[in-house]
Structure 1
């Protein structure tokens, strides 16, 4: 075990370990101070109000429309709410829509200015792997996104990669009363880290099976959710915000010609703007949520 650790220590970062402490004696082990560090997404100290925005997928015109309707000031190329509200993006900023680079620049600027928070979606994660030189299939609009970034140059590519890499898998907000994760998150994963948590947050409740269209089969985790926190997510598009128990899905298929939607919190009301065009054909009609409430 010691030999294996020595062999692999230089690769710990690639395995997901952000920090390491080397100890060379029993005395060092006995006197090492221990300090608990919160996960990056643990922002229980932030109480809002928030505007949680669904999957943008490169739809920059619609994002600007929605931010204006939510009351954000878009002058100067950025976006900030005059009353101090914070935008929270559920991920999948890129692909399918016409201007993924424009969306990235706007959201990155808002996060840097303290006007927004963001979690990654599976499309963002795939883009990050492509920018890192990993072998990925450039499909579902990723080819267009990569072309835009290629034209923008290596500095912008490095900034985008660093931005996505630093995003927390989930956000724990308002004392733990609000959870934001791209594909949703069951209660036993709230506030936790690890590979299983990250996989669920990015891809949902999947087991590798695919349907007749070749799409991943996603089990409806929200139907069995009974946690105390409100979970806001996206990933699976619907024709309107989908309320299910103490969860709400705000992915309303903007790139497919649907809407771009946001949940106002703590008001628990939704606001949507229509897509200006059908940027990508939907693989099937967007399902209409049943039993909506709270919107």
Structure 2
């Protein structure tokens, strides 16, 4: 199978449409997308928050997954929005406030539709994806080799948040161990979560969160071709949001 894994979208709907077109997907008259090379889109989470069109992204991704054109695995922002839609007590900040503002502007009928779609999307999704006979692993914030095949609480924390230490950088971002530097597995792990200026390939891992919502780009990783395709962002550049892995262990 051939896959196009798309990094963190964060409500950047226009860039998503441009990227899908650049990847060669076409839209039929009935609205269903297809690819002449029988490719499948894979979304690695963080569809919403911070960007301008989170609800459009939800609708679009839901339709692609339901039509069988795409696969999806959730990110930490997806998990938090899911808990919000379930009525749980979550802090409406770190980007969630933008999605909630869009949501509250809808009619009550449309709110039910959006929440129902998104909850189904998350509930039907695996914690991470093992594709092409497990040779391609798609996990939102990555996964260590010894955790592949498991889904216990420690794996869930790693997949959603990365290898966090509990500390924070001066800019408020959590300190994460550079797990990719120590990954020696033969399987390719594609992940996002931590914004980088350009796709970061280390061994058989690749980070494709190129910070679209922070003015970077929206990136897809093509498997098995081992290629990336990026669309520049229309958002203003926020330099401090991009992560540097220098001097990290």
Number of residues of Structure 1 aligned to a counterpart in Structure 2: 241
Contact 2:9 2:46 in 1 (8 A): yes
Q: Please list every run of at least 4 consecutive aligned residues from structure 1 whose deviation after the TM superposition is greater than 2 angstroms.
A: 74-80, 147-150, 285-290
Q: How does the TM-score come out when normalised to structure 2?
A: 0.92
**Do structure 1's residue 67 and structure 2's residue 20 form an aligned pair?**
yes
**Do structure 1's residue 220 and structure 2's residue 178 form an aligned pair?**
yes
User: How well do the aligned residues superpose, as a CA RMSD in angstroms?
Assistant: 1.7
Which residue pairs with 1:6 in the alignment? none
Contact 1:58 1:94 in 2 (8 A): yes
Ranges in structure 1 where 5+ consecutive residues have no aligned partner: 1-47, 291-295
Which residue pairs with 2:216 in the alignment? 258
Contact 2:33 2:64 in 1 (8 A): yes
Contact 1:122 1:202 in 2 (8 A): yes
Larger radius of gyration: 1
Which residue pairs with 2:100 in the alignment? 146
Which residue pairs with 1:13 in the alignment? none
Contact 1:55 1:235 in 2 (8 A): yes
SS at 1:63's partner residue? Answer: helix
Q: How does the TM-score come out when normalised to structure 1?
A: 0.78
SS at 2:230's partner residue? Answer: strand
**Do structure 1's residue 165 and structure 2's residue 100 form an aligned pair?**
no
Ranges in structure 2 where 5+ consecutive residues have no aligned partner: none
**Do structure 1's residue 282 and structure 2's residue 238 form an aligned pair?**
yes
Contact 1:185 1:231 in 2 (8 A): yes
| CA deviation profile, 1:216-253 (whole Å, cap 9, x unmatched) | 11111000000110000000010110000110000000
Give the Å deviation of 1:288: 6.8
Q: 1:196 to 1:236 in 2, by over 3 A?
A: same
In the alignment, the residues of structure 2 paired with residue 235 and residue 268 of structure 1 have an alpha-carbon distance, to the nearest angstrom, of 20
Give the Å deviation of 1:214: 2.1
Contact 2:59 2:114 in 1 (8 A): no
